[in-house]
Amino acid sequence: MNERVKQLVRAGAQRASRGRIVWRGPDDVRRVALTFDDGPHALTERYLACLAALGAPATFFVMGYYVERRPAVVADYLRGGHQVAGHGYYHKRFTRLFPHQLHDQLVRTERALGPVPHGRWVRPPHGSLGPIDGATMLARGYTVAMWSFDSRDYDGASAETLVERCAPGRCRPGDVLLFHEGQETTLAALPRIVDGLRGAGYELVTMADLVTR
């Protein structure tokens, strides 16, 4: 996102003070958040089993269309101690939608999720965030969840490469790490990524907990 768009979005945030935009957490506490986009997926159960074995909470940004076809999966995320939030209904870029279309995406995804803890969070598909859609989400009271560390697990990298990319020395306190569901290599890399971060003294928390003192 260029600086001009950031300024416009911040201006929208000031006008619509009920919501907020989060890129990262405080940098004075050694905590990070693992986040996963684009679920639920055929691999979701394996992701949840892996994170359960590691005792690692995470935040899952899911699509309403997929959730409607697997409604029980929301309870599966929550039982694992994870945060679950919207990622659009059809994964369309919010910046390309008319206001009434964005409203439809948000409402239909909320309806699919049902009541969830942590309040109203949403991650814009593809990380596309502009002044109009940003202000719309803020005015509706959403916490708009971005990220500060992109693992780029969508580019075909091996598990070994992902472990190297997410090495503790490359992360900073307060980072929000972006991953995706449906990636076998991500699933294979997770235990080593988590062990590495913990070995360096990082606590893993949900995004909601990351920004809560």
Q: What DSSP line would sit under 96-120, residue for residue? A: GS-HHHHHHHHHHHHHHH-S-TT--
Q: At what angle do helices 184-199 and 44-54 cross, to 10 degrees?
A: 20
| Spans of the chain, pLDDT less than 50 | 1, 4-5, 8-9, 12-17
Please write the tens of the pLDDT for every residue from 118-147.
Answer: 999 999 999 999 999 999 999 999 999 999
Report pLDDT for 7. 53
Cα angle 98-104-106, degrees, rounded to a multiple of 5: 105
Residue 32 bridge partners (DSSP): 204
Question: Which class is 3-210 in CATH?
Answer: alpha beta
Q: What is the pTM of this model?
A: 0.91
* CB proximity list for 143: less than 8 A, separation 6 or greater: 19, 20, 21, 22, 119, 120, 121, 122
